[in-house]
Structure 1
């Protein structure tokens, strides 16, 4: 089999997905070709349409095939709350797990000068404009507590300083059902620092 064969191209193309190594990609390719070609054709059609038609919401920067996403277009959402997240997948997690009815802003990552990710790439000028909207009362930072995440949170807090809105951060600490002996020191320190009264 030559390296430029369609089969090898398919396997290599599947490897672009996160967590898919050479063996997993090979299994997927063989499964589609040997057992489910109709599913493979459907996957190809949907992937092609998604790549062409899905873009960013003009308001919150999440992924959508419309000018505004369903959340931003929903008049019943609480416009006084704005949750700032790193990725569109964070919105899905919050919507499924939390009782949150506000709006969102998707950064698309964290500040990382070494990787060439600065304020422009994260749309922080657009976020600063949102901070000045009169109906906004609180912005909630839901950013990972990594070094880059903390730097991003600090930068955003400086942007918010000029506005009258309240800036808060989601709690960090011991996960529900977690055992203390398996929790890392940084997480445990955050849990103690953010403890609440009973």
Structure 2
């Protein structure tokens, strides 16, 4: 090969490596979940799939120090995080008419500190918005780069008809870490599926009362 051809090939190789490196440095940030109502317990059963490395980053940001999935209190942190970022909450008509932003959702929950403030151990009121669903932990499973989280959501205590017919599912998982985060939830009911999509700009979707019937 001539010297000029070798130089061209080397340059092309460097460009290719740079392109691959850039793609790896900016991955597509997604999460997916499956939700189904259990009429016996009157809870929503949730399976949530997230990138493990992104989720560790989110836990670290919540507590203000580096956190690992292997540490002793990891599950306590996971439950606190889910209470902040994956929940059902009664929704006023105004919220149904226009999708709220991430900060507006936090203000509606009357917990701007809840979304953006520091984690407070052993203080449920600081780790979940008022009148929202509560988390019941089931377990977790690490499969390669993906982390599966299994938990149940107990519906808000205000079980009057109006509250149940005007619920929103807030799914802002990892939105505080990744501006381009896309979260999808597949709701299973009566052999059919409905898909909800949330992002950093639109962190909640209306949750139909039909999905909470046998």
Instruction: Provide the TM-score with structure 1 as the length reference.
Output: 0.24
Q: Which has the higher strand share?
A: 2
Higher relative contact order (CA 8 A, sep 6+): 2
Instruction: Provide the TM-score with structure 2 as the length reference.
Output: 0.23
